[in-house]
Amino acid sequence: MAAGGHAGVLEERTTLRTVVLALGVLLVGLVLLYLASNDTLWRAQSPWQSMVRQLGSVLTVTVVIALLWNLWGKRAFVDELFAKARIAEDIQQSGIVGFTESFQRSIDWESLFRSGAHLDICFAYGRTWRNSHRAELQALAKRPEARIRVVLPDPDDTTTVAEMARRFDVSAEQFSSAVREAAEDFTSLGRLNPENRHLVQVWYLPATLQFSFYRFGTSVVFALYTHRKERAPVPAFVIQEGGSFYEFVRAEFRAMVEDDPPLARRAPEGG
């Protein structure tokens, strides 16, 4: 017999036992109420009559409540408990450790920058983010073991530029210029540590970005894009290594810059 069928049989047996026991106790309660209502049986023994009546009432009400709880309430509670447990397990397996409605304000970026010397980024150009974290980027670049790899939309791919410019509500020229500015900005970080020849790598991806992410060693900030033209808070997930979500990000970045051939191309010096 399958596990589901066995569980169904056990549930039916439990239900049957519960109903039989409840009906038996209910019958006792009704009999006691009937006896208590017969005054001829209790001449000069009214205290006992009251006690029997109360006992019958308690048994009757208790059985009804217990029956409702066991047949419906308890199972609904258990189902809800297991549903929440499954959700919690799914979240744990994904590696998600945090969520915020705005990745600019509610993420501890300083701790992330201190957590490791390797930083992998994929975003449109991140002007606001770069300006907000310039000091942290410069401090990271000066570390001997530092490595910064950045994937940007290809400013020379007309299809990519047209779609990304439409999304950001700017002209194609403005978008391409912003990407090249970001490339030069990251390239300039390499000049802070000229002995580290592999410090900064900038790549151009000929594809419309569906999301952005920032990988700090074993931690990832994964941000969504909005389809609205006006500026709006961007929700983001914080992800830890070991989960399926982190593996997805790592596989995406590996395909962009490490596969043979990679999806992206190395940006020329100077952007």
Read off the pLDDT of residues 118-166 as tens digits, 9 standing for 90 and up. Answer: 999 999 999 999 999 999 999 999 998 999 999 999 999 999 999 999 9
Are residues 80 and 143 both part of a single domain?
no
Q: Residue range 4-23: average pLDDT?
A: 58
Q: Is the distance from CB of 74 to CB of 203 less than 8 angstroms?
A: no
**pLDDT by residue (tens digit) across 64-93?**
666 666 666 556 655 665 556 566 677 778
pLDDT of residue 102: 80
Q: 40-44, 106-110, 203-207: which has the highest mean pLDDT? A: 203-207
Q: Is the distance from CB of 77 to CB of 54 less than 8 angstroms?
A: no
Is residue 45 one of the residues assigned to a domain? Answer: yes
pLDDT of residue 6: 46
Are residues 213 and 150 both part of a single domain?
yes
Is residue 141 one of the residues assigned to a domain? Answer: yes
Q: Is the distance from CB of 33 to CB of 57 less than 8 angstroms?
A: yes
Nearest to 32 by CA among 50, 10, 13: 50
State residue 116 phi and psi, 5-degree precision: -170, 170
Which of the listed residues 68, 94, 120 is the one where a domain comes to its end? Answer: 94
Are residues 225 and 250 both part of a single domain?
yes
Q: Is the distance from CB of 217 to CB of 120 less than 8 angstroms?
A: no
Q: Is the distance from CB of 47 to CB of 74 less than 8 angstroms?
A: no
pTM: 0.68
As a whole number of angstroms, the distance between CA 134 and CA 151 comes to 18
State residue 202 phi and psi, 5-degree precision: -115, 130
| Residue 10 pLDDT exceeds 70 | no
> Among 48-57, 103-112, 117-126, which stretch is predicted with the lowest mean pLDDT?
48-57
Are residues 166 and 219 both part of a single domain?
yes
Strands 212-216 vs 219-223: parallel, antiparallel or unpaired:
antiparallel
Are residues 179 and 61 both part of a single domain?
no
Are residues 41 and 156 both part of a single domain?
no
Is residue 271 one of the residues assigned to a domain? Answer: no
Q: Does the N-terminal peptide bond of residue 235 adopt cis geometry, omega within 30 degrees of 0?
A: no
Are residues 120 and 242 both part of a single domain?
yes
pLDDT of residue 95: 86
Q: Residue range 195-202: average pLDDT?
A: 87
Domain range for 67: 3-94
| Residue 1 pLDDT exceeds 60 | no
> What is the domain-level CATH number for residue 148?
3.30.870.10
- Our count of domains for the chain comes to 2
Are residues 192 and 164 both part of a single domain?
yes
Average pLDDT of the residues of the chain: 82
pLDDT of residue 71: 61
Are residues 117 and 210 both part of a single domain?
yes
| Residue 262 pLDDT exceeds 70 | yes
Is residue 249 one of the residues assigned to a domain? Answer: yes
Which of the listed residues 59, 94, 129 is the one where a domain comes to its end? Answer: 94
pLDDT of residue 175: 97
Are residues 104 and 58 both part of a single domain?
no
The sheet that has 96-100: what strands, in order across it? Answer: 96-100, 236-240, 219-223, 212-216, 118-122, 147-153, 200-205, 265-266
Are residues 176 and 218 both part of a single domain?
yes
| Residue 28 pLDDT exceeds 90 | no
Which of the listed residues 72, 94, 116 is the one where a domain comes to its end? Answer: 94
Nearest to 37 by CA among 52, 26, 47, 25: 52
Are residues 105 and 89 both part of a single domain?
no
